[in-house]
């Protein structure tokens, strides 16, 4: 059995944490955006495994891994917003 890999920890400033918590609690935000904000906050706590985070949010484990990896790689908040696919117009 393979050993689990450890990723770099998610570190947020207090302003970023407040923004993510506001998105997570918002009732008028898109579902996808609130789930991603919740995944990032749970991932930053470091107490839950990827599988536990996935179960808590009703998504696949791979979704959790990709969401956290995208945040680590880009280190930007724009990853919470869905970007248009090739050939689609960008919404304003």
pLDDT in tens, the chain (92 residues): 565 667 777 888 899 899 999 999 999 989 999 999 999 999 998 888 899 999 999 999 999 999 988 887 766 555 556 666 676 666 55
Q: Output the six-digit token pair for 18.
A: 């407040």
Q: What is the DSSP code string of 14-55?
A: HHHHHHHHHHHH-SSS-HHHHHHHHHHHHHHH-SS-HHHHHH
What does the alpha-carbon distance between residue 38 and residue 72 come to, in Å, rounded to a whole number? 15
What are the sequence ranges of the domains in the chain?
Answer: 14-79
């Amino acid at each position: 059995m393979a050993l689990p890999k450890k990723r770099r920890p998610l570190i947020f400033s207090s302003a970023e944490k407040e923004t993510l918590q506001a998105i997570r609690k918002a009732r008028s935000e898109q579902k996808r955006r609130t789930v991603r904000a919740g995944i990032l906050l749970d991932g930053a706590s470091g107490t839950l495994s990827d599988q536990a985070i996935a179960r808590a949010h009703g998504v696949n484990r791979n979704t959790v891994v990709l969401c956290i990896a995208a945040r680590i790689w880009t280190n930007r908040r724009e990853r919470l917003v869905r970007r248009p696919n090739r050939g689609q117009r960008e919404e304003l």
